Amino acid sequence: MEKKNDSSLPHLPQYCVMLRLSQGLLSLLESCPRKFQYSILEQLAPPPTETLQNSLDWGNRFHLLMQQAQLQLPLGALLNGQAAMRQAFEALHQANPQLLAPSPGAQYDSEHLRSFSLGGHSFSVIYDLLIREAEQAQILDWKTYPKPIQAQTLAQDWQTKLYCFGLVETSNYKPEQVSMTYWFVRGKDSNSQPESLQLTYSQQKHKQIRQEIIEQTTQLNQWMEQYKQGKALPQVPLGQTCDRCNFFNRCRGQNEQTREQFAVDLEAIVEVSL
Protein backbone atom coordinates (compact mmCIF):
# COMPACT_ATOMS: atom_id res chain seq x y z
CA MET A 1 0.00 0.00 0.00
CA GLU A 2 1.36 3.40 -0.98
CA LYS A 3 1.48 6.19 1.55
CA LYS A 4 -0.16 9.55 1.01
CA ASN A 5 2.16 12.49 0.39
CA ASP A 6 2.35 15.41 2.79
CA SER A 7 0.57 18.51 1.46
CA SER A 8 -0.23 20.22 4.75
CA LEU A 9 1.83 23.39 4.23
CA PRO A 10 0.14 26.76 3.55
CA HIS A 11 -0.87 27.87 0.05
CA LEU A 12 2.16 28.45 -2.17
CA PRO A 13 2.55 30.56 -5.31
CA GLN A 14 1.79 28.62 -8.49
CA TYR A 15 5.28 29.35 -9.81
CA CYS A 16 6.82 27.52 -6.87
CA VAL A 17 4.69 24.39 -7.12
CA MET A 18 5.94 23.63 -10.63
CA LEU A 19 9.43 22.58 -9.55
CA ARG A 20 10.39 18.91 -9.36
CA LEU A 21 13.37 18.56 -7.04
CA SER A 22 16.03 15.87 -6.86
CA GLN A 23 19.02 15.23 -4.62
CA GLY A 24 21.25 16.99 -7.15
CA LEU A 25 19.10 20.13 -7.18
CA LEU A 26 18.88 20.22 -3.39
CA SER A 27 22.67 19.96 -3.18
CA LEU A 28 23.08 22.76 -5.72
CA LEU A 29 20.56 24.97 -3.95
CA GLU A 30 22.26 24.41 -0.60
CA SER A 31 25.76 25.09 -1.93
CA CYS A 32 24.93 28.21 -3.98
CA PRO A 33 21.42 29.62 -4.60
CA ARG A 34 22.71 31.96 -7.32
CA LYS A 35 24.22 29.04 -9.25
CA PHE A 36 20.86 27.27 -8.88
CA GLN A 37 19.25 30.30 -10.52
CA TYR A 38 21.69 30.35 -13.44
CA SER A 39 21.75 26.59 -13.99
CA ILE A 40 18.15 25.59 -13.34
CA LEU A 41 15.85 28.60 -13.60
CA GLU A 42 17.68 30.25 -16.49
CA GLN A 43 19.16 27.11 -18.11
CA LEU A 44 22.56 28.74 -18.64
CA ALA A 45 24.80 25.83 -17.66
CA PRO A 46 27.59 25.30 -20.22
CA PRO A 47 28.32 21.83 -21.64
CA PRO A 48 30.62 19.65 -19.50
CA THR A 49 34.33 19.45 -20.21
CA GLU A 50 35.64 16.51 -22.22
CA THR A 51 37.06 14.87 -19.10
CA LEU A 52 33.80 15.21 -17.20
CA GLN A 53 31.78 14.02 -20.17
CA ASN A 54 33.95 10.91 -20.51
CA SER A 55 33.44 10.16 -16.83
CA LEU A 56 29.68 10.66 -17.15
CA ASP A 57 29.54 8.40 -20.21
CA TRP A 58 31.46 5.63 -18.39
CA GLY A 59 29.13 5.88 -15.42
CA ASN A 60 26.02 5.80 -17.61
CA ARG A 61 27.27 2.71 -19.45
CA PHE A 62 28.02 0.96 -16.17
CA HIS A 63 24.53 1.72 -14.84
CA LEU A 64 23.03 0.36 -18.06
CA LEU A 65 25.22 -2.71 -17.75
CA MET A 66 23.98 -3.40 -14.22
CA GLN A 67 20.38 -2.86 -15.26
CA GLN A 68 20.66 -5.30 -18.18
CA ALA A 69 22.37 -7.83 -15.92
CA GLN A 70 19.42 -7.66 -13.52
CA LEU A 71 17.04 -8.19 -16.44
CA GLN A 72 19.19 -11.10 -17.65
CA LEU A 73 19.75 -9.45 -21.04
CA PRO A 74 22.87 -9.99 -23.22
CA LEU A 75 25.85 -7.94 -22.03
CA GLY A 76 28.31 -8.47 -24.89
CA ALA A 77 27.65 -5.18 -26.66
CA LEU A 78 28.35 -3.25 -23.45
CA LEU A 79 31.48 -5.20 -22.49
CA ASN A 80 33.23 -5.73 -25.82
CA GLY A 81 36.36 -3.61 -25.94
CA GLN A 82 35.69 -2.24 -22.43
CA ALA A 83 38.39 -3.88 -20.32
CA ALA A 84 38.04 -1.49 -17.37
CA MET A 85 34.27 -1.88 -17.31
CA ARG A 86 34.46 -5.65 -17.54
CA GLN A 87 36.96 -5.74 -14.68
CA ALA A 88 34.75 -3.48 -12.51
CA PHE A 89 31.64 -5.51 -13.34
CA GLU A 90 33.22 -8.88 -12.57
CA ALA A 91 34.93 -7.64 -9.41
CA LEU A 92 31.65 -6.21 -8.10
CA HIS A 93 29.84 -9.50 -8.55
CA GLN A 94 32.68 -11.43 -6.96
CA ALA A 95 32.48 -9.11 -3.97
CA ASN A 96 28.69 -9.47 -3.75
CA PRO A 97 27.36 -12.56 -5.59
CA GLN A 98 23.86 -11.79 -4.28
CA LEU A 99 23.53 -9.03 -6.89
CA LEU A 100 22.78 -11.59 -9.61
CA ALA A 101 21.41 -14.34 -7.37
CA PRO A 102 18.40 -12.88 -5.56
CA SER A 103 17.49 -14.30 -2.18
CA PRO A 104 14.23 -16.27 -2.05
CA GLY A 105 11.35 -13.92 -1.35
CA ALA A 106 13.32 -10.77 -2.25
CA GLN A 107 12.21 -8.39 -4.99
CA TYR A 108 14.91 -6.70 -7.07
CA ASP A 109 14.07 -3.44 -8.88
CA SER A 110 16.72 -1.84 -11.08
CA GLU A 111 16.58 1.89 -11.96
CA HIS A 112 13.51 2.15 -9.73
CA LEU A 113 11.69 5.52 -9.70
CA ARG A 114 9.69 6.87 -6.75
CA SER A 115 8.07 10.27 -6.26
CA PHE A 116 6.54 12.13 -3.34
CA SER A 117 5.48 15.67 -2.43
CA LEU A 118 6.50 17.85 0.48
CA GLY A 119 6.70 21.57 1.09
CA GLY A 120 4.77 22.43 -2.05
CA HIS A 121 7.21 20.65 -4.39
CA SER A 122 7.46 17.18 -5.86
CA PHE A 123 10.56 15.05 -5.39
CA SER A 124 11.93 12.20 -7.47
CA VAL A 125 14.46 9.52 -6.55
CA ILE A 126 15.85 6.81 -8.83
CA TYR A 127 17.45 3.82 -7.12
CA ASP A 128 20.18 1.99 -9.03
CA LEU A 129 18.96 -1.15 -7.30
CA LEU A 130 16.27 -1.57 -4.67
CA ILE A 131 16.10 -4.91 -2.84
CA ARG A 132 12.83 -5.38 -0.97
CA GLU A 133 12.10 -8.11 1.53
CA ALA A 134 9.31 -8.53 4.06
CA GLU A 135 11.15 -6.88 6.96
CA GLN A 136 13.86 -4.82 5.31
CA ALA A 137 14.74 -2.80 2.22
CA GLN A 138 18.22 -2.10 0.83
CA ILE A 139 19.04 0.77 -1.51
CA LEU A 140 22.18 0.15 -3.58
CA ASP A 141 24.01 2.83 -5.55
CA TRP A 142 26.94 2.46 -7.96
CA LYS A 143 29.69 5.07 -7.70
CA THR A 144 32.63 5.53 -10.06
CA TYR A 145 34.79 7.71 -7.81
CA PRO A 146 37.02 6.67 -4.86
CA LYS A 147 35.42 5.84 -1.53
CA PRO A 148 35.31 8.85 0.85
CA ILE A 149 37.55 8.55 3.88
CA GLN A 150 34.73 9.45 6.28
CA ALA A 151 31.32 7.81 6.17
CA GLN A 152 29.85 11.04 7.55
CA THR A 153 30.58 12.66 4.18
CA LEU A 154 28.01 10.42 2.52
CA ALA A 155 25.65 10.35 5.49
CA GLN A 156 25.18 14.12 5.14
CA ASP A 157 24.86 14.01 1.35
CA TRP A 158 21.44 14.88 -0.02
CA GLN A 159 21.38 11.67 -2.03
CA THR A 160 21.58 9.54 1.10
CA LYS A 161 19.08 11.66 2.96
CA LEU A 162 16.53 11.99 0.17
CA TYR A 163 16.75 8.36 -1.00
CA CYS A 164 16.14 6.91 2.46
CA PHE A 165 13.50 9.49 3.26
CA GLY A 166 11.70 8.89 -0.03
CA LEU A 167 11.51 5.14 0.45
CA VAL A 168 9.96 5.45 3.91
CA GLU A 169 7.50 8.07 2.64
CA THR A 170 6.31 5.89 -0.24
CA SER A 171 6.21 2.49 1.46
CA ASN A 172 5.25 0.79 4.71
CA TYR A 173 8.85 0.22 5.78
CA LYS A 174 9.89 1.74 9.08
CA PRO A 175 13.05 3.88 9.00
CA GLU A 176 14.99 1.25 10.97
CA GLN A 177 14.18 -1.29 8.23
CA VAL A 178 15.87 0.80 5.53
CA SER A 179 19.57 0.96 4.69
CA MET A 180 21.62 2.39 1.82
CA THR A 181 24.82 0.86 0.47
CA TYR A 182 27.21 2.66 -1.85
CA TRP A 183 29.44 0.50 -4.04
CA PHE A 184 32.58 2.21 -5.34
CA VAL A 185 33.23 0.15 -8.42
CA ARG A 186 35.98 1.96 -10.29
CA GLY A 187 39.38 1.93 -8.63
CA LYS A 188 42.50 3.87 -9.51
CA ASP A 189 44.03 0.90 -11.36
CA SER A 190 43.14 -2.52 -12.71
CA ASN A 191 44.10 -4.21 -9.42
CA SER A 192 41.69 -2.16 -7.34
CA GLN A 193 38.79 -3.99 -5.74
CA PRO A 194 35.31 -2.54 -5.25
CA GLU A 195 34.57 -1.13 -1.81
CA SER A 196 31.23 -0.64 -0.11
CA LEU A 197 29.85 1.61 2.57
CA GLN A 198 26.51 0.86 4.24
CA LEU A 199 24.52 3.52 6.06
CA THR A 200 21.63 2.76 8.38
CA TYR A 201 18.50 4.84 8.90
CA SER A 202 16.35 5.72 11.90
CA GLN A 203 13.18 7.49 12.98
CA GLN A 204 15.27 10.33 14.38
CA LYS A 205 17.03 10.84 11.05
CA HIS A 206 13.70 10.72 9.24
CA LYS A 207 12.26 13.50 11.38
CA GLN A 208 15.41 15.58 10.99
CA ILE A 209 15.43 15.22 7.21
CA ARG A 210 11.75 16.12 6.99
CA GLN A 211 12.51 19.32 8.87
CA GLU A 212 15.49 20.06 6.61
CA ILE A 213 13.37 19.59 3.49
CA ILE A 214 10.62 21.85 4.84
CA GLU A 215 13.14 24.54 5.76
CA GLN A 216 14.84 24.25 2.36
CA THR A 217 11.60 24.41 0.39
CA THR A 218 10.19 27.24 2.51
CA GLN A 219 13.30 29.26 1.78
CA LEU A 220 13.14 28.33 -1.90
CA ASN A 221 9.50 29.41 -2.09
CA GLN A 222 10.44 32.83 -0.71
CA TRP A 223 13.33 33.18 -3.15
CA MET A 224 11.16 32.08 -6.05
CA GLU A 225 8.49 34.65 -5.23
CA GLN A 226 11.19 37.34 -5.08
CA TYR A 227 12.68 36.04 -8.34
CA LYS A 228 9.30 36.52 -10.04
CA GLN A 229 9.56 40.18 -9.00
CA GLY A 230 13.02 40.56 -10.53
CA LYS A 231 15.27 39.87 -7.51
CA ALA A 232 18.14 37.41 -7.99
CA LEU A 233 18.69 34.48 -5.65
CA PRO A 234 21.38 35.08 -2.98
CA GLN A 235 25.09 34.81 -3.62
CA VAL A 236 27.39 32.91 -1.29
CA PRO A 237 30.52 34.53 0.20
CA LEU A 238 33.57 34.47 -2.05
CA GLY A 239 35.49 31.25 -1.48
CA GLN A 240 38.02 28.88 -2.94
CA THR A 241 35.57 27.29 -5.38
CA CYS A 242 34.29 30.55 -6.86
CA ASP A 243 37.20 30.90 -9.30
CA ARG A 244 36.29 27.50 -10.79
CA CYS A 245 32.62 28.38 -11.24
CA ASN A 246 31.48 28.89 -14.83
CA PHE A 247 29.30 31.78 -13.66
CA PHE A 248 32.03 33.76 -11.87
CA ASN A 249 31.95 36.75 -14.24
CA ARG A 250 28.17 36.79 -14.50
CA CYS A 251 27.78 36.53 -10.73
CA ARG A 252 30.58 38.80 -9.51
CA GLY A 253 31.19 41.08 -12.47
CA GLN A 254 34.45 41.54 -14.35
CA ASN A 255 35.77 44.68 -12.67
CA GLU A 256 39.25 44.69 -11.21
CA GLN A 257 38.05 45.59 -7.72
CA THR A 258 36.02 42.37 -7.47
CA ARG A 259 38.92 40.26 -8.67
CA GLU A 260 41.36 41.97 -6.30
CA GLN A 261 38.99 41.32 -3.39
CA PHE A 262 38.63 37.71 -4.50
CA ALA A 263 42.43 37.33 -4.58
CA VAL A 264 42.70 38.75 -1.05
CA ASP A 265 40.08 36.31 0.20
CA LEU A 266 41.96 33.39 -1.31
CA GLU A 267 45.22 34.48 0.30
CA ALA A 268 43.52 34.67 3.68
CA ILE A 269 42.16 31.17 3.25
CA VAL A 270 45.53 29.74 2.28
CA GLU A 271 47.29 31.33 5.24
CA VAL A 272 44.90 30.00 7.87
CA SER A 273 46.74 27.64 10.22
CA LEU A 274 45.07 24.23 10.40
Q: Is residue 6 part of a domain?
A: no
pLDDT score, position 188 = 67
The answer to whether residues 130 and 253 belong to one domain is no
Q: Each residue of 223-239: pLDDT tens digit?
A: 999 999 999 999 988 87
Residues 25 and 131 in one domain: yes
- Is-above-0.75 flag for pTM? yes
Return d(Cα 185, Cα 193) in angstroms, integer.
7
Which one has a higher pLDDT value, 58 or 12? Answer: 58
For residues 199 and 264, membership in a common domain is answered with: no
Shared domain for 116 and 165, answered yes or no, is yes
3-state SS assignment for residue 264: helix
Nearest Cα neighbor of 17 from 95, 125, 123 is: 123
Higher pLDDT, 244 or 231: 231
- What's the number of domains the chain is made of? 2
pLDDT tens digits, 149-192: 788 889 999 999 999 999 999 999 999 999 999 999 986 666 77
Within a domain: 110: yes
CA nearest neighbour of 85 among 112, 64, 101: 64
* 259 and 171 inside one domain: no
Is 193 among the domain residues? yes
The reply to whether 169 falls in a domain is: yes
Is 198 contained in some domain?
yes
Span 237-265, average pLDDT: 68
My answer on whether 150 and 191 are in the same domain is yes
In-domain check, residue 246: yes
Give pLDDT, residue 45: 81
| Mean per-residue pLDDT, 89-110 | 87
Q: 247 and 143, same structural domain?
A: no
Residue-wise pLDDT for 185-217, tens only, equals: 986 666 778 999 999 999 999 999 999 999 999
In a domain, 67, yes or no: no
Which sign does the torsion angle of CA 62, 157, 176, 5 carry?
negative
Which residue type does 63 have? H
The mean per-residue pLDDT over the stretch 8-26 comes to: 62
Expressed as residue numbers, the domain containing 248 is 242-271
Q: Which residue has the higher pLDDT, 18 or 265?
A: 18
pLDDT of residue 182: 95
- Which helix or strand (DSSP H or E) is residue 218 part of? helix 203-228
Of 117, 127, 193, residue with least CA distance to 160 = 127
For the chain, give the mean pLDDT: 84
pLDDT for 38 beyond 70: yes
The answer on 148 and 262 residing in a single domain is no
Look at residue 18 and tell me if it is in a domain: yes
Q: What is the CATH number of the domain that holds 215?
A: 3.90.320
Does 217 share its domain with 257? no
Distances (CA, A) of 162 to 6, 25, 82, 197: 15, 11, 33, 17
- Shared domain for 142 and 258, answered yes or no, is no
Is residue 39 located within the same domain as residue 125? yes
Same domain, 224 and 256: no
Question: For residue 221, with 0-12 CB atoms within 10 Å meaning exposed, 13-18 middle and 19 or more buried, which class applies?
Answer: buried
pLDDT value of position 97? 86
Asked if the model's pLDDT at residue 5 lies above 70, the reply is: no
